[in-house]
Amino acid sequence: LNDPNFATDEGGRRSRYNILPGEVTKSVEDTFRYAYNLLCESSPSYADDESLELSLMDEHQKIGTFHFNQLIFDLANYPQSFSGLLAQDLLEFMVSTVSSTPKNERGSNPNVPKPTVETINGVLKAWMVTPNYHDAVARRVESVLAKLAGWQSDGTLWGITPDTVSYNTCINCWKQSGIPGAAE
């Protein structure tokens, strides 16, 4: 993550994401493949696991919510120093893609990966296991839930509400923070 190319576009301008450079966020496929390749390069054991790779073999395979959710959970299962940041970038990319799609096409367009509660829970889990963010994890997890509330209130996302897993993950992060009474 010390690479100066992270989170900048081809002209060196700051990307709106933490990890994803601006030029790869022009298409769903490019964004997904960039994140997938980054995890493969960083985790040899992930690169050896063919579960997600097998579903991407077909060049005509449309990448959708299932693929994004799988990759976000893989970021949690193969923790890297960028797991939480990249998982959150993928979530925000999904939300951006949904919000730029006409409202009458959002639910029916299979080319738009719409976040689900599983997406949210995967991002929370990825933050929970991200190394070197111990004291900030609980705040990051809470900020994801706050963003979700904002997206719901402004009409960007609908029908996605945190569940028991979401709240338990948040409580566990506060418990692990070491701040006395934080999880109460």
Q: Dig out the tokens for 39 from the structure.
A: 């995890």
pTM of the model as a whole? 0.84
Q: What phi, psi does 136 have (nearest 5°)? A: -100, -10
Residue 14 has pLDDT above 70, yes or no: no
pLDDT of 156 = 85
- CA distances to 12, 70, 142, 148 from 153, in Å: 34, 27, 17, 9
**How much of the chain exceeds pLDDT 90, in percent?**
36
Residues 6+ apart with CB under 8 A from 124: 141, 144, 145, 166, 169, 170, 173
Q: Is the separation of the CB atoms in 126 and 171 below 8 Å?
A: no
Interatomic CA distance for residues 21 and 68, integer angstroms: 17
Answer whether 119's CB lies under 8 Å from 94's CB: yes
For the chain, what is the mean pLDDT?
A: 81
Greater pLDDT, 53 or 48: 48
pLDDT-derived band at 141 (thresholds 50, 70, 90) equals very high
